[in-house]
């Protein structure tokens, strides 16, 4: 009963005209950045973060969340029509979506992608609503050792799943931890690695780092790659999938939803991993695995459903534990802190209107997205025809002005450019940016938790293994580190599978 009352309160917040407007703006921008290659949800959120300073925390989070799950919807359009994923979580959709388009079935591919996303998104919100409140009671038992171990586990899961080379992913995590130490030490107040630059006393900003690694580096790569811009020219028609399409897709959608949701909750998980794993599962359980990669509708339905439910699931660790499970959630963490809201177990009791308002806005946002993505598909296709020679300078300018406008500081712009070059080199040398950013965000929290735990235990590391929650997290983390060393596991590791799929 309480749940329904809270949800009603959430809808009363989300349906306020201003919040409704920000929800619409968020999903619209999300779809836009999902459609346009080169500008993902992370860069868009970092760009618009300063614009939310003037609004209420609820409106700000509603809009930023809308960008995230909106991008999951929009990303499929470019995958299906152009064979270029609008954002990373739509990579798998290219494999069968583009083949369907080539066979004259672009409409059903886009249709099942939108319906699958809607179903998964709605189920994901239901899961968020049901799981988050009980998890808060559990989270109240967390002390510094538990927080430290959980963050270590999150980093290990991310490095385990996302890269073909775990050593390189861990190197990036270590680099992120180092960058996270720049600025004043939280405990002693001593300046670290600031090189007498006053702007660095507050540390390196998340927005310049993210914009550089994900925005500028992408444009630099595209400058050298000379991507051939090709838009599917046949008119998109018949968006509604047939009964046969539904029969083939419904279980894929449901499986994708469940897999995506739980991978979204997992620290270090997220929409990208969810889409890869659900595609692999679907291919494995299918009676016709040979159809995958040749235009199987299940190959579109499963990853698109998974990335949407993962987007909802990822809110759980942030809103209950205060720990971002991926880079997008790290951006939301930054937004909450800027607005004076501390995410964590007390958020639900101290700011119920924020939690339930955001949850309710997701239902509304999902309905808006269905309307935006099906009847207006023609408009998004037109947008794909914007030449890259216009698009890329505009993206660069967005990043430059966006990073400057946060603190009116040219230093932030320079930091962004430095990370743009670092990001470019990382991509060229097969180093993943995601572990670096997550470690950079978690670094200060992880350091504080580690030092507090050691002070509490008088220097004994046994504190991490004598407390059950901490011990379980660390044992899993250690197992994830050791297992890849076993020769038989090397070929089976999910990261290796992802690498193989990406080369297809």
Partner 1 sequence: MTFALLVCLGGLKLGFGTFQQPHAGFMPFLSGLLLGLLALADLISGLTGQWKTEAMGKNIWAEISWMKLGLTVAVLFVYTAFFTTVGFFIGTILLLLFLFRAMEPMPWWKIFTASIITTVLFYLGFKVGLDSQLPQGWIGF
Residues engaged in binding partner 1 (CB under 8 A): 50-51, 54, 164-165, 167-168, 170-171, 174-175, 177-178, 181, 185, 187-188, 190, 192-193, 216, 220, 223-224, 387-390, 392-394, 396-397, 400-401, 404-405, 408, 410, 413-414, 417, 420-421, 428-430, 443, 447, 450-451, 454-455, 458-461, 499, 503
The kind and range of the H/E element at 63 are helix 57-82
The number of angstroms, rounded, from the C-alpha of 19 to the middle of its chain's C-alpha atoms is 22
Our CA dihedral for 350, 356, 359, 360, rounded to 10 degrees, sits at -160
**At its nearest, how many Å lie between partner 1 and the CB of residue 468?**
23
Q: How far from 231 is each of 78, 235, 292, CA to CA, in Å? A: 9, 11, 23
Cβ contacts of 26 within 8 Å, gap of 6 or more? 62, 63, 64, 65, 66, 67, 70, 365
**At its nearest, how many Å lie between partner 1 and the CB of residue 79?**
22
**At its nearest, how many Å lie between partner 1 and the CB of residue 414?**
5
Integer Cα distance of 443 and 436 in angstroms: 10
Collapsing DSSP to helix, strand or coil, 307 comes out as helix
By beta-carbon proximity to partner 1, the closer residue of 168 and 294 is 168
By beta-carbon proximity to partner 1, the closer residue of 115 and 388 is 388
**At its nearest, how many Å lie between partner 1 and the CB of residue 266?**
23
**At its nearest, how many Å lie between partner 1 and the CB of residue 504?**
11
Burial class from Cβ neighbours inside 10 Å (0-12, 13-18, 19+) for residue 351 reads: buried
Beta bridge partner(s), residue 446: none
By beta-carbon proximity to partner 1, the closer residue of 83 and 229 is 229
By beta-carbon proximity to partner 1, the closer residue of 2 and 195 is 195
**At its nearest, how many Å lie between partner 1 and the CB of residue 231?**
17
Integer Cα distance of 272 and 92 in angstroms: 9
By beta-carbon proximity to partner 1, the closer residue of 233 and 408 is 408
By beta-carbon proximity to partner 1, the closer residue of 101 and 415 is 415
By beta-carbon proximity to partner 1, the closer residue of 139 and 416 is 416
Look at the alpha carbons of 56, 61, 67, 70 in this order and tell me if their dihedral is positive or negative. Answer: negative
Integer Cα distance of 259 and 272 in angstroms: 12
**At its nearest, how many Å lie between partner 1 and the CB of residue 440?**
11
């Amino acid at each position: 009963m309480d749940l329904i009352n809270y949800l009603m309160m959430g809808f009363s917040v989300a349906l306020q005209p201003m919040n409704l407007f920000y929800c619409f703006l968020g999903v619209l921008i999300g779809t836009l950045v999902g459609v346009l290659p080169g500008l993902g949800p992370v860069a868009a959120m970092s760009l618009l973060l300063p614009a939310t300073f003037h609004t209420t925390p609820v409106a700000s989070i509603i809009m930023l969340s809308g960008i995230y799950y909106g991008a999951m919807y929009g990303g499929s359009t470019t995958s299906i029509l152009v064979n270029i994923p609008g954002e990373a979580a739509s990579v798998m959709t290219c494999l069968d979506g583009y083949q369907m388009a080539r066979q004259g079935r672009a409409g059903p591919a886009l249709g099942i992608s939108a319906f699958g996303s809607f179903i998964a998104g709605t189920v994901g919100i239901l899961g968020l609503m049901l799981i988050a409140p009980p998890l808060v009671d559990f989270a109240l038992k967390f002390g510094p050792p538990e927080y430290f171990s959980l963050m270590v586990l999150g980093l290990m899961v991310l490095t385990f799943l996302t890269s073909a080379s775990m050593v390189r992913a861990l190197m990036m995590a270590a680099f992120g931890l180092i960058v996270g130490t720049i600025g004043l030490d939280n405990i002693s107040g001593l300046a670290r690695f600031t090189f007498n630059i006053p702007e660095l006393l507050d540390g390196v900003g998340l927005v310049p780092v993210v914009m550089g690694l994900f925005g500028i580096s992408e444009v630099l790569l595209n400058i050298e790659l000379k991507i051939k811009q090709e838009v599917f020219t046949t008119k998109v028609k018949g968006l509604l999938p047939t009964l046969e399409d539904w029969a083939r897709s419904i279980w894929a959608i449901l499986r994708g939803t469940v897999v995506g949701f739980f991978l979204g909750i997992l620290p270090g998980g997220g929409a990208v991993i969810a889409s890869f794993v659900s595609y692999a599962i679907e291919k494995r359980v299918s009676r016709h695995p040979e159809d995958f990669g040749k235009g199987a509708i299940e190959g579109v339905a499963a990853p698109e459903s998974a990335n949407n439910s993962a987007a909802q699931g990822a809110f759980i660790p942030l809103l209950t534990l205060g720990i971002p499970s991926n880079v997008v959630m790290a951006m939301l963490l930054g937004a909450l802190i800027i607005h004076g809201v501390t995410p964590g177990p007390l958020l639900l009791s101290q700011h119920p209107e924020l939690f339930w308002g955001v949850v309710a806005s997701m239902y509304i946002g999902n309905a808006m997205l269905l309307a935006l993505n099906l009847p207006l598909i023609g408009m998004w296709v037109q947008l794909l025809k914007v030449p890259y020679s216009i698009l890329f300078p505009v993206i660069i300018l967005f990043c430059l002005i966006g990073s400057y406008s946060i603190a009116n500081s040219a230093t932030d712009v320079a930091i962004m450019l430095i990370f743009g070059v670092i990001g470019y080199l990382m991509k060229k040398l097969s180093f993943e940016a995601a572990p670096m950013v997550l470690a950079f965000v978690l670094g200060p929290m992880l350091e504080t938790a580690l030092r507090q735990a050691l002070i509490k235990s008088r220097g004994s590391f046994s504190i991490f293994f004598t407390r059950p929650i901490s011990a379980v997290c660390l044992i899993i983390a250690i197992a994830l580190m050791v297992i890849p060393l076993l020769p038989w596991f090397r070929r089976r590791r999910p990261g290796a599978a992802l690498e193989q799929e990406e080369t297809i």
